[in-house]
Every structure is written in C-alpha cells, then in structure tokens.
Amino acid sequence: MPPALLTTSLVNTIQIGSLYALMALGITLTFSVMKLPNFAHAEYVTAGAYAALIVSLSGSLNPIVILAAAFIVGALTALVSQLAVFKPLEGRQVSFYTLILSSFAIGLIIRYILFTMADYFNLFDLRIQIPLQIVYRQGSLILSNLFALVVPTSILLVIALTLLLNRTALGREMRALANNANLARVIGIPVERVKNVTWLLVGGLAGVAGALWGMQTAVNPLMGWVAIISVFAAAILGGLSSFSGTILGAYVVAFSENTIMLFLNFNFGVDLAYKPAIPFIIIIAVLLIRPQGFTQLIKRGGDLQR
C-alpha cells in the first residue's frame, strides 16, 4: 500500500469517523434513555440533510445557518415521531419488538415523504453548496475546508453533549432515566419533558450529521438509510450505552471501511465493492465475541448507565 494512499485513507478515516460518531451518538442516547434501537434515526439524518440543502440552494452558504437549519428540522422530526408514535405506543405498554417495528415504519413514512418532496422539487443527488477547497497541503497530506468544518464541529458537539450529560441538571435527569425510568419518575423527575428534550437532541445531532454528510456526498432520500448500518455498527461497538465507546466505535468502523479495506485491496486483491459488508461483519463479530462492545474497556467519559 503506497504511503500517500495510507495518508489519504487516514484523513478519510478521521473525517468519516467524525460523521459516524455524530450519527451514532444519537442512537446510543435513544437506546440508553428510551430503551429503543431507533431505525428511524436514518431519516432524521436525511431530513436534516434536506433542510441544509434547501437553505444552501436558497442562497445562504453560511455553514452556521445551514447547520442550524439542519439541527432544527432533525430535532422537530424526531420530536414529532416521539409525540405521534412512540409516546402513545409506550402508553399502551407495547413490547420492545413492537417499538422496533414502529421505528422502521416511521422511518419508511418519513423516507417516502422526502421522496415525494424530492420528486416534486427535483431534489435528487444534489450537494449542499459549500464549495470544496484545499486549506492545508503538505506532501500527500491534503485537508479540505470540509475536513476543517466536519471534524471540529463533531468534536465540539460531542464535548457539548458530554458536558450536558455530566455537568447539568438535565444531564443528571437523563442519566437517571437511563438507569431506571420508574425510579426517576418516583423521585420527581419530569420524565416526559426529559424524554422530549432527549428526542430533540437526538434528532438535532442527526440533522447536523446529515448536513455534513450531504456536503461529503450527495443528498437523496436514501442517504441516511444507506449510512445507518455503519452507524449502528459504531453504536454496537460502543455497547449502545457509552458515548466514548460509541465515538471509538465510529472511528474503528471508518478505519475498517477506508484504511483496512484499501490495505486488503492493494495487498490481497479484495474488491472494494465488499466495503458495505464491513459494518455487518463488525456487528456480527461484536455480538458473538464481545456483546458489551467497548463498554468495559472504557469506563469513564460519558457512560450513560453508571
């Protein structure tokens, strides 16, 4: 494997891993607080990406405005799915499996609403209009303005989320809910309000990730769904309960899809078309060998269930 290729693949790993981390944190948060592996998460990503695309097409190329729009739309989409579907279902005390199936159904509904909108306004395979430029170049190390936007944004959001969980009353309430919802209710925590805020945060993070993902690739109604398997692999690597584990998992998945895949291709002729199989292999391997993921390896830093 040529050194230049190694360098490029590592840069890609950091950039893509940061995006996976942003998406996967929401899944971890939902699973920990709401006890739900939410497959509609993919569509919050896509909804955020479309909000960002529409803002960018309507003339604003300010990344803060674009990301803010993505956050708001992603957050509202998640909140609506909670209020319209998950909350009534929880009220009826349906099974865990019913909730999973309903998350698939919500995802499908949102996806096809986006399909209809994209068809009507011809918004397929467009890119969020942030011009791509090289901001740093040293030999084969090339960093783009997208890298400079994606990586710090992801890191800042992860830090902000960690601080929120560990340093604020809301964070304590969320962790209490993650540990024992009944007990949290008994000691006076406003469970429904905390849940609603959690959904807003989850959707908002997914929306921002979708906007950044749409700058990296192209926006279409399937983009979140295509990415979600890698994102779930990252969350499962993190044991679905640890922020730090999820972040590490995201970079491991991105490293596997980029650096390891290229290493296998150049040294053993493994076809790059097998790249989508990597997250499945990771998921199966983790579930078979180490179902708790990185949870026991990383005890500090944003574990939701302590």
Smallest gap from residue 237 Cβ to other proteins (A) = 19
Identify which of residues 86 and 147 has a Cβ nearer to other proteins in the complex.
Answer: 147
For residues 6 and 140, the answer to whether their CB atoms sit within 8 Å is: no
Measure the CA–CA gap between 55 and 114, rounded to whole angstroms: 16
Measure the CA–CA gap between 224 and 46, rounded to whole angstroms: 5
Identify which of residues 118 and 200 has a Cβ nearer to other proteins in the complex.
Answer: 118
Give me the residues that bind other proteins (CB under 8 A), please: 2, 4-5, 8-9, 12, 15-16, 112, 115, 118-119, 122, 124-127, 129, 131-134, 142, 144, 213, 216-218, 220-223, 226-227, 257-258, 261-262, 265-266, 271-276
Measure the CA–CA gap between 23 and 193, rounded to whole angstroms: 23
Helix (H) or strand (E) holding 256: none
Smallest gap from residue 166 Cβ to other proteins (A) = 32
Smallest gap from residue 110 Cβ to other proteins (A) = 14
> For residue 16, what are the CA distances in angstroms to 23, 147, 154, 250, 269?
11, 9, 10, 8, 24
Smallest gap from residue 35 Cβ to other proteins (A) = 30
Smallest gap from residue 130 Cβ to other proteins (A) = 10
Q: Which residues of 15-27 are buried (b: 16+ CB within 10 A; e: fewer)?
A: bbbbbbbbbbbbb
Amino acid at residue number 17: G
Identify which of residues 110 and 227 has a Cβ nearer to other proteins in the complex.
Answer: 227
Identify which of residues 129 and 162 has a Cβ nearer to other proteins in the complex.
Answer: 129
Identify which of residues 125 and 192 has a Cβ nearer to other proteins in the complex.
Answer: 125
